[in-house]
Amino acid sequence: MLDLVESWSGSRSAVVELRNVTRTYRMGDEVVRALDGVNLTIEPGTFAAVTGPSGSGKSTLANIIGGIDAPDSGTMTVNGTDLARANDRELSGYRNQTIGFVFQSFNLQSNATALENVALPLTLGGMRGAQRRERARECLEAVGLGDRATHRPNQLSGGQRQRVAIARALANRPSIVIADEPTGNLDSERGEEIMGLLGRLHRDGVTLLVITHDLGLAAKAQRILQIRDGRLTETRPAQGRSAGGTG
């Protein structure tokens, strides 16, 4: 497996700041407060875990930081730019260049090869064919799947699929990777593998935001953000258990 550091270049220093962010949903007659006056600053290179019971709003927080959802009120700035007021084009550029998503259910295109799946953000970013394939191959090699480039998702195991998804997330060298229950669909051994991979990303300087209800997994983070009824509280885990520790 290649060192992930090789996949990165340039400065990765997006500072994310949420100020008084509120997000409500209407579910039938009921109004659900997914986020209620959340204030949060994430420094570059942080490994943060977001925990909380299901329906508590942790995915909403991740979606807002990831730029696929917008707060009803409050501001969400990245390096000083308010993305809560950004237009579709700016927000899409932000998702494409700054954010990498990893989903619980992998969300790979079943008809496309691993390489094509990894290349998706590059294609959307306007990169040319040859350069794109080279970069996608690089990313697949970085997650240990250099020999699976032409395989389709149904020819890969669950762990391999999630590694393809991680390769896709890091294709455009994002500064923030958001992983929403990345191990939720995997057995514990594969889950360990994936977390190991994400941990390496963090060590390489990427800001890592992992949404999980697995407290053991969350304990490896530098910051643990707990959301309950839309309210954010934070606990700091013991230094020695941090994935970012000297080890």
37 interacts with another protein by CB under 8 A: no
- Comparison of 2 and 91: residue with beta carbon closer to another protein: 91
Rounding to the nearest 10 degrees, give the CA dihedral for residues 199, 201, 207, 212.
-40
**Minimum distance from CB of 176 to another protein (Å)?**
13
- In the list 2, 15, 32, 68, the residue contacting another protein (rule: CB under 8 A) is 68
CB neighbours of 208 closer than 8 A, spacing ≥ 6? 46, 47, 48, 176, 177, 179, 198, 201, 202, 221
Asked if 41 is part of the footprint of another protein (rule: CB under 8 A), the reply reads no
Of 103 and 219, which has the nearer Cβ to another protein? 103
User: Is there a contact between 22 and 33 (Cβ–Cβ < 8 Å)?
Assistant: yes
Report if residue 168 touches another protein, rule: CB under 8 A.
Answer: yes
Q: Is 101 in the site for another protein (CB under 8 A)?
A: yes
Considering only residues 73-92, where is the footprint of another protein by CB under 8 A? 88-89, 92
CA separation for the pair 55, 236 (Å, rounded)? 23
Strand blocks (E) in the chain: 16-27, 30-42, 47-51, 73-78, 81-82, 99-102, 176-180, 207-211, 223-228, 231-235
Q: Tell me if 7 contacts another protein by CB under 8 A.
A: no
Does 26 bind another protein (CB under 8 A)? Our answer is no
Let me know the angle formed at the C-alpha of 127 by 13 and 158, rounded to the nearest 5 degrees.
75
Q: How far apart are CA 210 and CA 224, in angstroms?
A: 10
From 94-102, 140-148, 184-192, 224-232, span contacting another protein (CB under 8 A): 94-102
Among 123, 138, 205, 229, binds another protein (CB under 8 A): 123
CA distance linking residue 67 with residue 49, whole number of Å: 18
Tell me, what amino acid is at 7? S
User: According to the binding rule CB under 8 A, does residue 63 interact with another protein?
Assistant: yes
Should residue 124 be labelled a site residue for another protein when binding is judged by CB under 8 A? yes
Rounded to the nearest whole angstrom, what is the least distance from the CB of residue 241 to another protein in the complex?
31
Considering only residues 187 to 246 of the shown chain, the ones binding another protein according to CB under 8 A are: none
Given the rule CB under 8 A, which of 101-109, 187-195, 210-218, 226-234 is the region that contacts another protein? Answer: 101-109
CA 170 to chain centre: 9
Considering only 11, 26, 128, 247, the residue that binds another protein (CB under 8 A) is 128
Cα(82)–Cα(76) distance, rounded to whole angstroms? 6
Annotate 232-245 with b (16+ C-beta within 10 A) or e (fewer).
Answer: beeeebeeeebbbe
User: Contact between 120 and another protein (CB under 8 A)?
Assistant: yes
The binding site for another protein (CB under 8 A) comprises 63, 66, 68-69, 88-89, 92-93, 95-97, 99, 101, 103, 107, 109, 111-112, 120-121, 123-126, 128-129, 168, 172
